[in-house]
A and B are shown apart, each in its own frame.
Chain A
């Protein structure tokens, strides 16, 4: 019984051992390291962004070329049809 009381009291003390603790402070140079990591990642992102921009430009160029070719073909067909109908009219 007494043994049990000791054990319970010890467990309570351990569970409460964080009471009144002070907050630990990180290394004063930690912010400088964080900034350096951000800078490094910006550099890496720059290369990635350039690649992405290049890929987007290529896609846009292809889409525009296809659209231009199609519109030229449609315009040609429309002009031919119009000429034939005008000639037939006269």
Chain B
């Protein structure tokens, strides 16, 4: 079945079509979520959210973009929502700790190791992820989709609903900011 046929079948309530779509896109959704959230557990949580959303909003899919682009768009939005929620929770935890409540302050693991990175690159990739974490949302999305997910810029533009030029500029700015952040890490390492 083509992607569009799968969507039509899902709308008709066909569970095996939903399974087929899941098998086709699970890896892309999960890996994108890992890059954003830098936590395997959170990435699994968001992957669930994405597929539940796909199931419920399949009827609203108008076919104006490809199914892949639509799936990536849902993934990016869910990841950004989850990051905002996590940051809010972190701030609340910090405030609670100031007032002496027992809620412990949960901070993300400082050195995230992506499970798919080659062994020889593990250490360097932890610095990259720490730097990515500091990027503003749009630069983060442009960088993750184009440099880690390796989507063509045209598709990144469709996912982010921006022009290709805007995406190009976001990627350049992201790389510039990452270099600045990495410079700090480099100097810290030398101390």
Where the two chains meet, the residues of A that have a C-beta atom closer than 8 Å to any C-beta of B are: 7, 10-11, 13-15, 17-27, 30-31, 33-35, 37-38, 41
Contacts and interface: CB of A to CB of B under 8 A. Distances in A.
A24 B112 CA distance: 14
A30 B47 contact: yes
Nearest to A25: B27
Given A31-B22, A37-B48, A37-B52, A21 B27 contact: no
Contacts of B128: 14-15, 17-18
B86 interface: no
Interface stretch (B69-77, B96-104, B116-124): B116-124
Task: Give chain A's interface secondary structure class.
Answer: helix
Contacts of A26: 26-27, 30, 43-44, 47
A25 to B, nearest CB: 6
A20 B118 contact: yes
A21 B114 contact: yes
Contacts of A35: 15
Contacts of A11: 179, 182-183, 186
Interface string B49-77: 00110011000000000000000000000
Interface residues of B, number: 37
A18 B27 contact: no
Interface in B70-120: 114-118
Given A20-B121, A24-B27, 17 more contacts: A10-B186, A11-B182, A14-B124, A14-B131, A15-B182, A18-B148, A21-B114, A21-B121, A22-B116, A23-B27, A23-B116, A24-B30, A24-B34, A31-B22, A31-B51, A34-B22, A34-B48
Interface string B21-36: 0100011001100100
Interface of B: 15, 19, 22, 26-27, 30-31, 34, 40, 43-44, 47-48, 51-52, 55-56, 114-118, 121, 124-125, 127-128, 131, 147-148, 175, 178-179, 182-183, 185-186
A35 B15 CA distance: 9
Contact of A24 (B15, B31, B48, B121): B31
Complex A-B, nearest 6 residue pairs according to Cβ-Cβ distance, in ascending order = A17-B124, A17-B121, A22-B116, A17-B125, A24-B115, A26-B30
